């Protein structure tokens, strides 16, 4: 049975590849491929689960493909199947199939019809990969694809201002969760000295012995998992992105933010439960997050004027309760709760336009003004206070913007001296000087060798933060992004004598291709449009769709999406940072946090949003 697991990953991927080659005018064929793919996958899954249950539900584990192997590390794809996988896979297969059928009619004659179904198939491939993953590397591959498909569906109406802006907000918070997951992988390598699989995690005695020996490292790993799960499931205090992600089509909102993607935080907690089931402090943390979210989200949902926003906060409150159920060990209840909530929210979102129409019609003919009573004034004041806090969404979005993103933008603007030609020349000289020191490392003193990696890591972090804040030129921002990665590579290479040249070349091979393609796209766009500043959204995708698509691919390759060698290179680089190198891991984490945000910011401002030329239609700021 283990050999069959790979086909559940392959089926949606083949459907996605086939759909790419169909002309966008062939709506029936495009939707037919998607629906047929979902149907085959769901029926095959039903048969497989039935056969699996008849044979007493054995836990299936198979090592599928090894990407890279050396003495200290092995990066491989591993598939795993148990009751948790079965529930999430069946619910995901059923809902995706229903949404695909609904979307065939809902998006009829929409200009983005093909784009929607392509992205939907890619999402389902990523979701299946996460659910069937047998180790953290495999899970992270699907996790990354889920993030980018979320961004693409939020900005589906790319001629409007708010979908693009909210897409960037969402992917920025997603990136924080991605970095937490990377850090948990990094520390897990040092804790286990191997690529630990979920099958081994079920060995309670093995896990307990490692946690007792390395308690602080285990706590760090668990906290990173909890933060990643909290962000993915839009729990407090990261709840504000979920209603803003509803800017996409209603069908994508149903499958992403009502039913499947938003529940993956619960899946991550369930899958990693053996890590933290013996830690009372972690259970209390998860219960606190779930309880606060359930209360605040319920209050916010009651005062929202948008149906989709009400459903988003209602789903968020239920997921908060699921967090509590997971922490309390009520996993069967959590799985039943997940299935019920997923189907309910999908149904609510799909019928919400019709229901809203009926309610407006009923209100028009049967309007009754609300009667305000004269009850206890103190209770009324408390009620009004909660009402105002809920209207403002407890200021979660404002706090994040003011205390997380604004200070970084302010700091980036203070680094304006980096943009000068003299500083570029100086940074180039410093880099090549460091490269020579690395090549002839045995000829420099040990004290210099020990401090150079921190210097280069710090410079790499400064460069990418500056790229995040650049507004005058997209070419300057792209150059800073590339330079920052070369500095980070050199910093990690200096740190570890065992960091082989082949590992450096693996990362650089993906980096250089994406960098060169990005530069070519930017130069072509500059030749056509003359101006490449980042002060606004310019919507060049209207007139330059080919350049926009290639530049998006270069951005995704540059940030290490799993279809490039850079993905393996990033994993190798982090594995070589020692667990005691706190400063370097901070510099490297901040660099990888902002590289995706900075790259997609350049893409969004140049190619998305209302077109700057007046002869194109300009959409309203909100969808």
In a domain, 368, yes or no: no
Residue 372 lies in a domain: no
- 318 lies in the same domain as 419: no
Looking at the structure, tell me whether residues 114 and 38 fall in a common domain.
Answer: yes
* pLDDT tens by residue, 267-291: 999 998 888 888 888 899 999 999 9
Q: What pLDDT, on a 0 to 100 scale, did the predictor assign at position 441?
A: 65
* 297, 424: one domain: no
Structure letter (DSSP) for residue 373: -
Structure tokens at 153: 């569906």
Chain Cα centroid distance, residue 189: 22
Residue 374 lies in a domain: no
CA distances from 97 to 34, 146, 475, 490 (A): 9, 18, 43, 47
Domain boundary among 310, 342, 358: 358
Residue 81 has pLDDT above 80, yes or no: yes
In this structure, are 449 and 539 located in the same domain?
yes
pTM comes to 0.89
Question: Are 346 and 464 members of one domain?
Answer: no
Q: How far apart are CA 265 and CA 270, in angstroms?
A: 9
> pLDDT tens across 564-603, in order?
666 666 766 777 777 777 788 888 888 888 888 888 889 9
- Number of other residues whose CB lies within 10 A of the CB of residue 407: 10
- What is the spatial distance between Cα 280 and Cα 544, in angstroms, rounded to a whole number? 55
* Alpha-carbon separation of residue 317 from 290, 311, 325, 478 (angstroms): 8, 10, 13, 40
Check whether the bond before 368 is cis (ω within 30° of 0): no
End-to-end distance of the chain based on CA atoms, in angstroms? 47
Q: For residue 156, is it within any domain?
A: yes
**318 and 188 fall within a common domain:** yes
DSSP-assigned letters across all residues of 530-564: S----SS---TTTT-HHHHHHHHHHHHHHTT-TTS
- Say if 576 falls within a structural domain: yes
The parent domain of residue 323 ranges over 2-358
For residues 352 and 455, state if they share a domain: no
d(CA 570, CA 390): 41
pLDDT tens, 42-64? 999 999 999 989 988 888 888 87
Pair 21, 157 in one domain: yes
pLDDT at 455 over 60: yes
Domain identity same for 469 and 352: no
Residue 80 domain-assigned (yes or no): yes
Q: How long a stretch of residues is the chain?
A: 623
Note whether residue 79 is domain-resident. yes
Are 513 and 578 members of one domain?
A: yes
pLDDT for 623: 46
Secondary structure of residue 249 in the 3-state scheme: coil
Considering its fold, how many domains does the chain have in total? 2
Residue 97 has pLDDT above 70, yes or no: yes
Residues 157 and 271 in one domain: yes
Q: Note whether residue 601 is domain-resident.
A: yes
Phi, psi (deg, nearest 5) at residue 260: -105, -65
Query: Does residue 215 have a pLDDT over 80?
Result: no
């Amino acid at each position: 049975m283990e050999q069959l697991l790979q086909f559940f990953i392959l089926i949606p991927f083949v459907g996605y590849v086939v759909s790419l080659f169909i002309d966008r005018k062939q709506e029936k064929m495009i939707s037919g491929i998607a629906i047929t793919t979902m149907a085959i996958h769901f029926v095959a899954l039903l048969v497989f689960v039935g056969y699996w249950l008849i044979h007493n539900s054995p836990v299936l584990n198979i090592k599928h493909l090894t990407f890279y192997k050396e003495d200290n590390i092995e990066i491989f794809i591993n598939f795993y199947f148990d009751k948790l996988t079965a529930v999430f896979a069946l619910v995901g297969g059923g809902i995706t199939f229903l949404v695909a059928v609904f979307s065939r009619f809902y998006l009829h004659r929409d200009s983005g019809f093909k784009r929607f179904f392509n992205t939907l198939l890619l999402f389902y491939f990523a979701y299946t990969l996460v659910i069937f993953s047998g180790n953290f590397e495999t899970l992270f591959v699907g996790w990354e694809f889920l993030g980018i498909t979320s961004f693409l569906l939020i900005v589906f109406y790319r001629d409007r201002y708010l979908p693009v802006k909210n897409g960037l907000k969402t992917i920025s918070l997603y990136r924080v969760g991605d970095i937490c997951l990377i850090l948990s992988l990094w520390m897990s390598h040092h804790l286990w000295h191997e690529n630990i699989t979920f099958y081994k995690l079920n060995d309670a005695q093995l896990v307990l012995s490692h946690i007792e020996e390395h308690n602080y490292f285990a706590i760090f790993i668990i906290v990173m998992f909890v933060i990643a799960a909290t962000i993915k499931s839009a729990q407090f205090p990261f709840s504000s992105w979920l209603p803003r992600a509803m800017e996409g089509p209603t069908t994508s909102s149903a499958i992403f933010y009502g039913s499947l993607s938003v529940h993956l935080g619960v899946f991550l907690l369930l899958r990693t439960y053996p890590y933290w089931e013996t830690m009372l402090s972690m259970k209390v943390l998860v219960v606190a997050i779930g309880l606060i979210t359930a209360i605040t989200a319920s209050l916010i949902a009651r005062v929202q004027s948008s149906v989709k926003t009400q459903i988003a906060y209602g789903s968020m409150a239920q997921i908060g309760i699921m967090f509590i159920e997971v922490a309390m060990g009520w996993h069967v209840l959590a799985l039943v709760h997940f299935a019920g909530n997923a189907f309910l929210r999908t149904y609510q979102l799909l019928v919400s336009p019709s229901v809203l129409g009926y309610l407006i019609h009923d209100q028009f003919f049967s309007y009754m003004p609300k009667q305000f009573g004269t009850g206890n004034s103190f209770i009324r004041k408390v009620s009004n206070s909660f009402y105002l806090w809920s209207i403002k969404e407890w200021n979660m979005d404002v706090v994040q913007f003011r205390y997380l993103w604004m200070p970084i933008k302010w700091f980036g603007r203070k680094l304006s001296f980096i943009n000068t030609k003299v500083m570029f020349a100086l940074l180039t000289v410093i880099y090549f000087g460091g490269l020579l020191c690395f090549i002839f490392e045995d000829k420099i003193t040990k004290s210099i060798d020990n401090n150079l990696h921190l210097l280069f890591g710090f410079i790499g972090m400064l460069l990418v933060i500056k790229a995040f804040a650049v507004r005058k030129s997209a070419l300057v921002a792209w150059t800073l992004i590339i330079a920052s990665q070369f500095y980070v590579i050199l910093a990690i290479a200096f740190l570890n004598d065992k960091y082989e040249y082949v590992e450096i070349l693996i990362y650089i091979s993906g980096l250089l291709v994406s960098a060169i393609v990005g530069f070519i796209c930017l130069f072509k766009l500059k030749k056509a449009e003359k101006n490449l500043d980042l002060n606004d959204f310019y919507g060049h995708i209207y007139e330059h769709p080919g350049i926009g698509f290639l530049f998006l691919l270069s951005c995704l390759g540059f940030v290490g999406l799993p279809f490039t060698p850079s993905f393996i290179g990033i994993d190798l680089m982090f594995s070589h940072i020692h667990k005691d190198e706190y400063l370097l891991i901070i510099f490297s984490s901040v660099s990888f946090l902002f590289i995706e945000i900075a790259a997609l910011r350049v893409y969004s401002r140049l190619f998305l949003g209302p077109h700057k030329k007046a002869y194109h239609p300009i959409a309203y700021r909100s969808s």
